Structure 1
Amino acid sequence: MSQLSKTEQVLREMKQYNIDLLALNEIRWKDVGQETLDHGYVLLYSGEDNHHQAGVGLMKSPAAYRTMLKWTPINERILFARLATTHTKLSVIVCYAPTNEADDDVKDGFYETLQPVTKDIPKHDILCVVGYLNAKVGADRKYYPEVLGPHGLGQINENGALLVDFVLSNDLVVGGTLFQHKNVHKYTWKSPDGSMRNQIDHFVIARRWRTSLLDVRWYRGVTTNRVTCS
């Protein structure tokens, strides 16, 4: 499927599910920029200079775009945007983390880049970190009850431990572990043959805004995961 047809598919799903903000991962667009799409939707993207690999993006409805205050392409794995809301500002960090099998220096480098972006966000903002974190945080929350809910899946892996450390150090919570759903609505990835399923995409929110998060779930048959906030 071409980049254009993928974008058109995502745009249809945004309209179908009434989504105002949509984080995109592995979009494989070069460079950085802003693209105006049909019906006033806008795609912000941050990619690499010379390769159609990795890449992150944030697609906005016309209403969401009108509230944008600033956005910053950090690199091919991290993009930041800040928007105005009725009560406060919303800061969104879109992420595409290295895989669990990546070299340790690559994984550590990702979080070393992500940490200062997070720390620079004003404390009163609603902070959300969202995307393909490539991390399994698991179902056992006994060591991390302050950042994980009771509805995770599987066993924590190395990338999951890195994510938990990041969440702990920044007073965040992992939203997908907070809400009770059938497992089929928690899995965010499956192998091509369907034999393996994991929860490795995540929506992370500042703990002080935890009650503003109403739901996190995956919808079968679509390319998007939907998060509902008040």
Structure 2
Amino acid sequence: MDTFGYGIRTKFGAWNVRSLYGEGRDEQLEREMLRLKISILGISETKCRGRAEYRSDTGQTRMLYSGEDERENGQRLHGVGIMLNEVARRSLIAWPPISERIMTCYAPANEATEEDKSTFYTHLTSAYSSVPKADIIIVMGDLNAQVGADNELWEKMARVHVMKMVTCFYGDTENQIGHIMIQQQWKKSMFHVRNIRNADLGSDHHLVVISLKLKTAAVLRQSQNAARNQKFITNALSDPNISRKDTIGIN
């Protein structure tokens, strides 16, 4: 089985888990991920310190995380991570951790300082802009954007950044707070979008899941058109040396 191959379904998830600090939390998260057959799970608010990668005790998943260094008061805040099944892990090229808020997104809340907000969006913009144009960009995580049930503002933002947005809801309210966004040119590869309300980790945020299946139709049409529109350099045949070589080759 491959991940992200043409015609292959790959399931992504984004979830604010509230904390992975505590005995058995990562094992419980792994069980939910495997039960739901998620290949790549973006995790917010892990409250894990430092930056590391480790394999689970079962050997079925890998955790990559980026968090704060230890605070003087011992408080644990923020932290993001990505959990991969072993198939997805074999496809991983690199995972440069940017901060305790960016691998997946975990944006500052409204009560955060303007400096924290500015730093986050500066890092996010820089990370987005640094991705090669040929790559598929997926932005997912807890953007702490409680916009209610009205999608108009977010849809405008998604159009500005050429992204297609999927959202999840927070608690029992109609606040949209978790998001998965993909570039518009790949939106037809996205299907089976769901908020998973029965995912069990004691979090008051719902898990949002999408499946992607890349299509080759556009790529094939481009290659066929390129072949059809290929022009032959007939003027070169006026050169006696080239004409003689072509004649010999045909004979």
Aligned residue type for 2:141: G
- For the residue of structure 1 that corresponds to 2:120, the secondary structure is helix
How far apart in 2 are the matches of 1:96 and 1:209? 24
Whether 2:86 is the aligned partner of 1:62: answer yes
1:175-203 Cα distance to aligned partner (Å, 9 max, x none): 23xxxxxxxxx52x21xxx5x44220000
Percent identity reads: 33
**More deviation, 219-228/115-124:** 219-228
- For the residue of structure 2 that corresponds to 1:227, the secondary structure is strand
How far apart in 1 are the matches of 2:21 and 2:93? 31
1:80-100 Cα distance to aligned partner (Å, 9 max, x none): xxxxxxxxxxxxxx1100112
Q: Could you say which structure has the greater relative contact order, defined with CA pairs below 8 angstroms and 6 or more residues apart?
A: 2
- For the residue of structure 2 that corresponds to 1:43, the secondary structure is strand
How far apart in 1 are the matches of 2:45 and 2:159? 26
Correspondence for 1:78: 102
The structure number with the bigger radius of gyration is: 2
Aligned residue type for 1:208: Q
Q: Structure 2 vs 1, CA of residues 141 and 135 (structure 1 numbering), >3 Å: closer, same or farther?
A: closer
CA drift at 1:168: 4.4
CA drift at 1:137: 4.4
- How many residue pairs were aligned? 183
Q: Structure 2 vs 1, CA of residues 168 and 100 (structure 1 numbering), >3 Å: closer, same or farther?
A: farther
How far apart in 2 are the matches of 1:211 and 1:29? 36
How far apart in 2 are the matches of 1:137 and 1:168? 17
CA drift at 1:53: 1.2
Aligned residue type for 1:13: E
1:95-174 residue pairs with structure 2 within 5 A?
Answer: 95-140=105-150, 148=155, 165=157, 167-174=158-165
- For the residue of structure 1 that corresponds to 2:24, the secondary structure is helix
How far apart in 2 are the matches of 1:137 and 1:204? 16
Aligned residue type for 1:219: I
Q: Are the counterparts in 1 of residues 149 and 174 from structure 2 also a CA contact under 8 Å?
A: no
Q: Are the counterparts in 1 of residues 21 and 48 from structure 2 also a CA contact under 8 Å?
A: no
CA drift at 1:123: 1.3
Between structures 1 and 2, the one with greater strand share: 1
1:98-121 Cα distance to aligned partner (Å, 9 max, x none): 112322332222111110100011
CA drift at 1:212: 1.0
Correspondence for 1:209: 186
CA drift at 1:219: 1.1
- For the residue of structure 1 that corresponds to 2:97, the secondary structure is strand
Q: Which runs of 4+ in 1 moved over 4 A?
A: 137-142
- State the superposition RMSD in angstroms: 2.1
User: Any unmatched runs of 5+ in structure 2?
Assistant: 1-19, 202-206, 214-251
Q: Structure 2 vs 1, CA of residues 2 and 55 (structure 1 numbering), >3 Å: closer, same or farther?
A: closer
Q: Structure 2 vs 1, CA of residues 105 and 67 (structure 1 numbering), >3 Å: closer, same or farther?
A: same
TM score, norm. by length of structure 2: 0.67
CA drift at 1:207: 1.1
TM score, norm. by length of structure 1: 0.72
How far apart in 2 are the matches of 1:123 and 1:139? 33
CA drift at 1:46: 0.2
Specify which of 26, 30, 33 is matched with residue 11 of structure 1: 30
Correspondence for 1:155: none
CA drift at 1:22: 0.5
**More deviation, 129-138/16-25:** 129-138
